[in-house]
Structure 1
Amino acid sequence: MAKRKDARVTIILECTSCIRNGLKKVSTGISRYITQKNRHNTPNGLELKKFCPYCSKHTIHGEIEK
């Protein structure tokens, strides 16, 4: 059977401020969230404002490549 091309795809959102500023706290890591988007409605990269536990505030999380 052939696979269908679904409109919904799974994406990973990563904190943009952790990448730019580097981590200033003892714990190391980058905040990441997994979500889905509709590729027909949002063909460009998705950016959402989410909470980053490493920055301890709400920051913009952008879509990254898998």
Structure 2
Amino acid sequence: MRDNITLACQTCKQRNYTTTKNKKTVPHKLELKKYCPFCKTHTPHKETK
């Protein structure tokens, strides 16, 4: 039921993290504030394909 997703930085567009989510309980695109090693700061990361 849980699907693997990739999180990409909104500033530099690098794909930094992978995680899982339940598509039934969270139908929208997941957005988390995570640390980006390329930007060297905390930035919003959004779900990509």
Scaled by the length of structure 2, what TM-score is found? 0.90
2:12 is aligned with 1:18: yes
Q: Which has the higher strand share?
A: 2
Q: 2:35 aligns with which of 51, 55, 61?
A: 51
Deviation at 1:32, TM superposition (A): 1.4
Runs of 4+ in 1 over 4 A off after TM superposition: none
What is the TM-score normalised by the length of structure 1? Answer: 0.69
Structure 2 unaligned segments of length 5 or more: list them.
Answer: none
**Paired residues, what number?**
49
RMSD of aligned alpha carbons: 1.0
Greater C-alpha Rg: 1
Instruction: Give 1:57's aligned amino acid.
Output: T
Bigger share in helix = 1
Residue identity over aligned pairs, in percent, reads 45
Unpaired runs of at least 5, structure 1: 1-5, 20-29
